[in-house]
Amino acid sequence: MTEVEANNGSKNVVDLGLVVGELTLEDDAASDDDVALEGLEEELQDYKTDDVVTMILSKGTSSRNYTKDVEHNLRRIELDSIQDYIKESDNLISLHDQIHDCNTILLQMEKLLSGFQAEIGSISSDIKVLQERSLDMGLKLKNRKAAESKLSKFVEDIIVPPRMIEIIVDGEVNEEYLRTLEILSRKLQFVGSDAMLKTSKVITNVQPEVEKLHQKAVSKVFDFIIQKLNALRRPKTNVQILQQSVLLKYKYVIMFLKEHNKEVYLDIRAAYIDTMNKVLGTNIQAYIHALEKLQLDIATAADLIGVETRSTSLFLRGEPLKNRSAVFALGDRIKILKEIDEPALIPHIAEASSKKYPYEVLFRSLHKLLMDTAASEYLFCDEFFREQPMFYDIFAGPFTVIDEHLNTVLPNFYDAIGLMLMIRIIHQNQLIMSRKRLPCLDSHLDKVNISLWPRFKMVFDMHLSSLRNANIRTLWEDDVRPHYVMRRYAEFTASLIQLNVDYGDCQLEHNLERLWLAADDLLVKLAALFQKPKQQTVFVINNYDMTISVLKEAGPEGGRIQIHLEELLKSNTAIYVEKLLQEHFSNLIKFVKTRACEDPSLGPRHPISVAEVEPIVKDFASRWKAAIELMHSDVITSFSNFLCGMEILRATLTQLLLYYTRLSDCMKNIPGGSAPNKDLISISSIMYEIRKFSRTF
């Protein structure tokens, strides 16, 4: 070990007793005598529960001795701590040096950071200045852009480019011309929009030039539109194609004129109305003339239900009314209501086929053409002129042509079925226009409908009067088959009922009931002219049956008239059955009705004898089969409807069986009535014979 190390070692070993000296507590003890005892009681109470105090007191050790021990321990621990500190002195010195170096470095960093802080403060100030300058520059830029935008718009609105002048003055009216018109329209609006601008020198210089362009553009487009309108007047021109493919492309011209030259616009509007009024009126007039060549005359004033077929006016027609069922029967004519939306007839094609049509077919074609033309024109006016009311000015001419045509046709039109078909056609047309939401024909269709109903009522009343005022002497024929007047009535009524199925017109139903009363009254009068009552009944039954059959063929909606007819047929059939049985079995029927109906409880005032019954039984047994054959023959020849005749024969035989059954029952109660029993025909035999005729049904 070197000397230095020895010295160092010696330094590490220090006698703490020599350094610190002896620790005494006399002074402390002496000083304790002077300690004030104030508050001692409170402290004793506070430390009464302390664990250390309790332990000291429990050992019986004096507090002074215990204090000395504590002081000694503390001194020893202090000396140990000092010794530990001395041992670590080199480390502490090194730590002190390191801390000193750190402080030096930190001072340098503090100075550096202070410099940075000053520089950052300066930069922050510069940034605030730059930010303020940026906001100021942004505001200026925004204002300059706004000013530039307004100025550029002003310059754009006020300047008149040479190209624009060239197009307006020398260009053709086409899509480019329309775009240039839009630019000119904006310039005209700009020049006249603000009163303050009119004081500007720029406006003063530019406005005359813009106005010249305005006048030139108006003049040019006016000539152009008039030229296009003149094209509409050319013969065989398809107006709708010209409107859609040519005029609608230039609808902005109309907007330009409406906005910048109302007077010229009104001139063009008037020219268009005049042109289309004449063109459409002429076209519809020509179409009507062409349709008139295709008309098939159905009825005249003499073609009425109650008119006699041999009337001289009918021979002038070259065709007897009796064979012209189309006057009263609907037939295939109802198909026109299912073809309501089919294309209109093309006259020259129909004429080439030499085909004729009832007037309702022509009526439908005319109104189909009218609806198509009106719908197209109404939509065109709305899109091209932006005016719907002008449609009615345009169609004043066509409406007048159609009204004049109907005023010529209807006074001489006596086809009631055709009139009702036309009424239904008008109703269907109204529904079609309503579904398309086109109100342009509402007033016209209502007017036509109003003109058709009175005419139908007049013709209907003519038929009604013909039945009421019919000459029964000239109408009567010695024939029990259905009368041709009743067939006309049946077909006429069935036709109108069929045309009323989907409409439920109460007024029409009321008129049909009036017509039935007149027809039934005439039928009764005609029946009364037959000499034999049975012929009268057969005549009535045949006519009722025929009428019911016609009504059923037309459809299931026979209504109250059909129900009433069926009741009349049933009651008259019962009358006929009785009359027919009276012809062949009068004795049997008389006996059953008079004698067999007596009440046995009343007593035997007039008892039935064998002598009274036996001739009746023998007579029936001798000829009942022959009588049935005669009745069968009579029924077959009397009734034109085989099924109706067979039903009547079955009812007759059934009634005969009932009479005979009652006769058989009566004989069982006669005293000694066993004698005629051998002549009684068994019920089964009669039933067998009835079934033979039933098999022929």
The torsion defined by the Cα of 47, 49, 55 and 59, in degrees rounded to 10, comes to: 90
What's the distance, CA 483 to chain centroid? 50
The answer to whether residue 178 scores a pLDDT higher than 80 is yes
Mean pLDDT of the chain: 82
pLDDT tens digits for range 117-158: 888 888 888 898 899 889 989 898 888 888 877 777 777 767
Q: How far is 527 from 533, CA to CA, in rounded Å? A: 9
- SS3 state at 368: helix
Structure tokens at 223: 């000539």
Q: Which residue has the higher pLDDT, 63 or 429?
A: 429
Q: How far is 86 from 500, CA to CA, in rounded Å? A: 135
| 432 in Cβ contact with 274 (< 8 Å) | no
DSSP letters spanning 238-265:
-HHHHHHHTGGGGHHHHHHHHHH-HHHH
Q: How far is 580 from 591, CA to CA, in rounded Å? A: 17
pLDDT attached to residue 447: 95
Count Cβ atoms below 10 Å from residue 594 Cβ, excluding itself.
Answer: 9
pLDDT attached to residue 31: 45
Q: For the chain, what's the residue count? A: 697
Listed residue (218, 219, 239, 220) closest to 229, CA to CA:
239
pLDDT band at 291; cut points 50, 70, 90? very high
Q: How far is 282 from 294, CA to CA, in rounded Å? A: 19
The CA-based diameter of the chain, rounded to the nearest angstrom, is 195
Mean pLDDT of 253-269: 90
The answer to whether residue 378 scores a pLDDT higher than 90 is yes
Q: How far is 350 from 293, CA to CA, in rounded Å? A: 10
pLDDT attached to residue 556: 67
pLDDT attached to residue 636: 87
| 614 in Cβ contact with 679 (< 8 Å) | yes
Q: What percent of the chain has pLDDT over 90?
A: 32
pLDDT attached to residue 622: 82
pLDDT attached to residue 44: 66
pLDDT attached to residue 606: 62
Listed residue (328, 338, 278, 286) closest to 307, CA to CA:
328
pLDDT attached to residue 583: 86
Strand partners, 357: 295
Q: How far is 44 from 38, CA to CA, in rounded Å? A: 11
Q: What percent of the chain has pLDDT over 70?
A: 82
pLDDT attached to residue 5: 43
The answer to whether residue 372 scores a pLDDT higher than 90 is yes
pLDDT tens digits for range 577-603: 999 888 888 888 888 888 765 544 444
pLDDT tens digits for range 300-317: 888 899 888 765 344 344
Structure tokens at 612: 């009274």
Listed residue (239, 275, 292) closest to 397, CA to CA:
275
Q: Which residue has the higher pLDDT, 612 or 314?
A: 612
pLDDT attached to residue 387: 87
Mean pLDDT of 391-403: 94
Question: Please, how many CA atoms are within 13 Å of residue 28, restricted to the half-sphere of its CB?
Answer: 8
| 466 in Cβ contact with 307 (< 8 Å) | yes
Q: What are phi and psi of 161, to 5 degrees?
A: -65, 150
pLDDT attached to residue 47: 67
pLDDT attached to residue 57: 66
pLDDT tens digits for range 456-476: 999 999 999 999 998 888 888
| 336 in Cβ contact with 505 (< 8 Å) | no
DSSP summary character for residue 609: -
Q: How far is 439 from 441, CA to CA, in rounded Å? A: 6
pLDDT tens digits for range 191-243: 766 655 666 666 667 777 888 888 988 899 999 999 988 988 888 888 889 88
The answer to whether residue 9 scores a pLDDT higher than 50 is no
pTM above 0.95, yes or no: no
pLDDT tens digits for range 73-115: 888 898 888 888 888 888 888 888 899 889 999 998 988 888 8
pLDDT band at 23; cut points 50, 70, 90? very low
Tokens 């000015």, residue located: 393
Structure tokens at 284: 């519809």
Structure tokens at 109: 């960093």
pLDDT attached to residue 25: 41
The answer to whether residue 339 scores a pLDDT higher than 50 is yes
pLDDT attached to residue 48: 66
Where are the chain's structural domains? 3-87, 162-260, 586-598+609-694
pLDDT attached to residue 673: 53
